[in-house]
């Protein structure tokens, strides 16, 4: 991607006159047709490894999305569509608050012949917290022990996946599995796509523990550190580990889903990591986790509600018990940020605004199954359609956090701090308005096949 002398954005890609602009964080899908200003075909129609140079002018919806953010860059994803010189990484964006994907003709594409190459989405900013602030987290050691570790449950009192699954050593095992499969027959495919996506998200837990251990001042320095922060991170991970286990085993026993495709997606996802843009900065990191724990609480709560509506009370119980863990974790992370607001209101409100400007990416935003280059967007669209996790939820979470941290009541802020305060306090209604507009413009989407359910299609 380049910028032409006239300031137009130039995208190198196979010829395609449709640009899909979407915001994964808002879960909205806005399509617009780009106007080709010029198309040059260097070396013929299908230059090996080079693609076709085309110039696009952004119109309409893309421009309105672009106006929402201070910096816009575009990420084409040609490396999965056709090979490029230099390993296909040349098209990566250096910064992409709004991701734009130049689509191939079909969402189903051949598996890449080369080994999987992780994508880099942004300039990776590191260690953005001033080093002196590390002292804040050191001084909060005792506070964390008394206020955060209390939100962990002793292992002996925790539920385990086996509590909700057929007991393999019992005589009634086969009968229980049969009953589970009978119940799952009543559940539609679009629900399974949401449940699978949620399960895959949970199963990428190694990535989330890594992410927490990137944070300066709170990371587990040894792998068995006794600081409150490290104890929390390990115990949190251990609690979370039950979520993926339980959903994975339920889905396996249901017989409704393609486990091998799901397992491949998990392997790809852990290999890709995640890009939450938290910059080794625990202010940003704990704002991110506060947001995400509430998002997963909402999402699992909704799959519980829908399972009940489909008559599977045991699955409703499974999703509900996971949601209750997420709620407890949300309480802990929001308490940490509440404390940061108390100690350093200016720094914390700046961090909050920074995360919201960058948008909260979902933990599984890099998911891929070897087939669908837009898997995460397609999964998100099904979750949006079913009401499992929606753009409205995103705005609601933001509003919840603004209230929870009493951001509107902060006083004595710097000029920049005041601006950040205004930004976060007025953002939720703006997101809702943009989403409503995007929904109004949305065209009927095609039916999307999901490898997770043997290629069966979901009508969006």
Binding site for Fe ion (CB under 5 A): 202, 240, 243, 293, 296, 326, 329
Query: Would you say 328 or 441 has its CB closer to Fe ion?
Result: 328
> Nearest 5°: CA angle at 314, between 311 and 315?
80
Catalytic one of 31, 57, 117, 159? 159
Which of 189, 216, 373, 356 lies closest to 283, judged by CA? 216
* Closest separation in Å from C-beta 273 to Fe ion: 17
Q: What is the largest CA-CA distance in the chain?
A: 75
Catalytic one of 293, 330, 393, 435? 293
Q: Which neighbouring-strand residues pair with 23? A: 28
- Scored b (16 or more CB within 10 A) or e, 4-36 reads eeeeebbbbbbebeebbbbbbbbbbbbbbebee
Catalytic one of 296, 303, 334, 390? 296
Query: Does the annotation mark 279 as catalytic?
Result: no
Query: Would you say 27 or 200 has its CB closer to Fe ion?
Result: 200
* Closest separation in Å from C-beta 209 to Fe ion: 12
Evaluate whether 449 touches 455 at the Cβ level (below 8 Å): yes
Query: Does the annotation mark 300 as catalytic?
Result: no
- Cα–Cα separations (whole angstroms), residue 457 to 10, 270, 448, 451: 34, 26, 5, 9
Catalytic one of 22, 243, 365, 371? 243
Distance (Å, whole) CA 394 – CA 429 = 11
Environment class of residue 397 by beta-carbon count within 10 Å: exposed (0-12), middle (13-18) or buried (19+)? Answer: buried
* Closest separation in Å from C-beta 208 to Fe ion: 8
Q: Which neighbouring-strand residues pair with 65? A: none
Tokens of 202: 């949970």
Query: Would you say 62 or 397 has its CB closer to Fe ion?
Result: 397
Tokens 């090979």 correspond to 83
Query: Does the annotation mark 330 as catalytic?
Result: no
Query: Does the annotation mark 3 as catalytic?
Result: no
- The residue at minimum Cβ distance from Fe ion is 243
* Closest separation in Å from C-beta 320 to Fe ion: 13
Tokens of 366: 């890099």
In a 3-state reduction of DSSP, which class is residue 404?
helix
Query: Does the annotation mark 296 as catalytic?
Result: yes
Query: Would you say 199 or 373 has its CB closer to Fe ion?
Result: 199
* Closest separation in Å from C-beta 293 to Fe ion: 5
Query: Does the annotation mark 214 as catalytic?
Result: no
Query: Would you say 184 or 296 has its CB closer to Fe ion?
Result: 296
* Closest separation in Å from C-beta 33 to Fe ion: 39
Evaluate whether 447 touches 459 at the Cβ level (below 8 Å): yes
Query: Does the annotation mark 416 as catalytic?
Result: no
Query: Would you say 216 or 240 has its CB closer to Fe ion?
Result: 240
Distance (Å, whole) CA 391 – CA 384 = 7
Query: Would you say 258 or 326 has its CB closer to Fe ion?
Result: 326
Query: Does the annotation mark 409 as catalytic?
Result: no
Distance (Å, whole) CA 102 – CA 18 = 7
Evaluate whether 460 touches 385 at the Cβ level (below 8 Å): yes
Catalytic one of 190, 198, 202, 377? 202
* Closest separation in Å from C-beta 244 to Fe ion: 8
Query: Does the annotation mark 240 as catalytic?
Result: yes
Give the residue numbers marked as catalytic: 159, 202, 240, 243, 293, 296, 325-326, 329
């Amino acid at each position: 991607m380049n910028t032409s002398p006239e300031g137009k954005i130039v995208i190198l890609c196979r010829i395609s006159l449709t640009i899909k602009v979407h915001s994964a964080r808002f879960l909205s899908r806005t399509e617009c047709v780009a106007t080709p200003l010029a198309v040059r075909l260097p070396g013929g129609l299908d230059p090996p490894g080079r693609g076709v140079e085309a110039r696009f002018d952004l119109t309409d919806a893309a421009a309105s999305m672009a106006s929402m953010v201070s910096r816009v860059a575009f990420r084409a994803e040609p490396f999965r569509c056709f090979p490029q010189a230099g390993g296909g990484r040349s098209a990566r964006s250096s910064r992409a608050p709004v991701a734009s994907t130049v689509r191939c003709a079909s969402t189903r594409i051949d598996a890449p012949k080369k080994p999987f190459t992780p994508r880099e989405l942004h300039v990776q900013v590191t260690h953005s917290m001033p080093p002196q602030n590390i002292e804040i987290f050191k001084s909060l050691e005792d506070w964390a022990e008394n206020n955060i570790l209390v939100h962990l449950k002793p292992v002996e009192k925790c539920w385990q996946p086996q509590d909700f699954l057929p007991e393999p050593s019992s005589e009634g095992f086969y009968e229980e599995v049969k009953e589970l499969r009978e119940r799952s027959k009543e559940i539609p495919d679009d629900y399974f796509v949401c449940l699978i996506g949620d399960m895959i998200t949970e199963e990428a837990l190694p990535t989330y523990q890594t992410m927490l251990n990137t944070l300066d001042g709170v990371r587990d320095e040894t792998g068995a550190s006794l600081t409150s922060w490290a104890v929390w991170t390990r115990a949190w991970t251990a609690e979370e580990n039950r979520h993926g286990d339980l959903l994975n085993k339920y889905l396996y026993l249901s017989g409704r889903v393609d486990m091998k495709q799901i397992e491949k997606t998990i392997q790809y996802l852990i290999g890709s990591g995640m890009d939450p843009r938290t910059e080794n900065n625990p202010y940003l990191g704990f704002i991110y986790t506060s947001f995400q724990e509430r998002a997963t609480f909402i999402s699992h709560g909704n799959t519980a509600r829908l399972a009940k509506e489909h008559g599977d009370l045991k699955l409703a119980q499974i999703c509900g018990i996971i949601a209750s863990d997420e709620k407890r974790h949300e309480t802990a992370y929001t308490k940490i940020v509440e404390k940061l607001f108390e100690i350093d209101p200016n720094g914390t409100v700046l961090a909050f605004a920074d995360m919201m400007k960058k948008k909260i990416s979902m933990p599984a935003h890099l998911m891929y199954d070897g087939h669908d280059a837009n898997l995460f967007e397609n999964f998100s669209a099904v979750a949006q359609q079913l009401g499992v996790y929606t753009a409205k939820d995103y705005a609601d979470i933001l509003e919840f956090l603004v209230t929870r941290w009493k951001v509107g009541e902060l006083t004595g802020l710097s000029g920049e701090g005041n601006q950040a305060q205004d930004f976060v306090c007025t953002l939720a209604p703006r997101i809702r308005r943009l989403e409503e507009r995007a929904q109004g413009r949305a065209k009927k989407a095609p039916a999307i096949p999901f490898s997770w359910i043997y290629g069966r299609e979901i009508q969006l």
